[in-house]
Amino acid sequence: MFKPIARQYTVLAAPVILVLTLATGACAPRIHNQGHEVDPERLAQIEPGKTNRDQVVEILGSPSNNSTFGPEIWYYVSQEVHSTLFFKPEINDRNIVAVEFNDEGIVSDVSTLGLADGRNVRPVERVTPTTGHELTVFEQVLGNFGRFSRKKTQPQVGGGGGIPPP
């Protein structure tokens, strides 16, 4: 007589355990590797004073970014990001390989930077003023009245030449 009740609890407990197991697994952090990870063995093939741009592309591939001002520098950027559910993702590791070229296109320097070498940059909070009139919501709604004509136009028929429609 007691066995059917125990069986009911077992049948109910199995889905509950399954849901709890899946929910706990969803809380595990996800690791994302982003960017262009440079293989240390390939990086060792680049010799300052000998290697040119074409050889760098052949060895490391296309750079993630190029310098805009100053000497020509190619950047290969990669990072490891941990994210958990809806929380802000955390950058756990960042590697930047900077390959600098001289005016002849030959590598002059190769340097590696990490997460600790980064600096926080605060953007300027100033706002550029614009000239003109800011419309309120009410003015925007009323401003659309009268902008559309009530004259109906006939649809275009055909596609080139021939007799025009009546």
Q: Is residue 25 part of a domain?
A: no
pLDDT over 90 (residue 45): yes
Q: What is the mean pLDDT of residues 31-57?
A: 93
Q: Per the structure, how many domains does the chain have?
A: 1
pLDDT over 70 (residue 53): yes
Cα separation, 125 vs 123, whole angstroms = 6
Q: What is the mean pLDDT of residues 8-32?
A: 73
Average pLDDT, the chain: 81
CATH at residue 110:
3.30.1450
Residue 96 binned pLDDT confidence (cut-offs 50, 70, 90): very high
- In this prediction, residue 108 carries a pLDDT of 96
Q: Is residue 16 part of a domain?
A: no
Cα separation, 77 vs 60, whole angstroms = 12
Q: Is residue 81 part of a domain?
A: yes
Q: Is residue 95 part of a domain?
A: yes
Residue 26 binned pLDDT confidence (cut-offs 50, 70, 90): low
If residue 83 lies in a helix (H) or strand (E), which one and from where to where? strand 73-83
pLDDT digits (tens, 9 = 90+) for 98-140: 999 999 999 999 999 998 898 888 888 888 877 777 778 877 7
Provide, rounded to the nearest whole percent, the portion of the chain with pLDDT above 70.
78
Reference 98, options 70, 124, 137, 140; nearest CA is: 70
Residue 40 binned pLDDT confidence (cut-offs 50, 70, 90): very high
Q: Is residue 57 part of a domain?
A: yes
**What range does the domain containing 92 cover?**
41-117
Contact 53, 60 (CB under 8 A): no
pLDDT digits (tens, 9 = 90+) for 60-91: 999 999 998 888 999 999 999 988 878 888 88
The pTM of this model reads: 0.59
DSSP 28: S
The residue to which tokens 């902008």 are assigned:
147
Contact 96, 74 (CB under 8 A): no
pLDDT over 90 (residue 151): no
Q: Is residue 159 part of a domain?
A: no
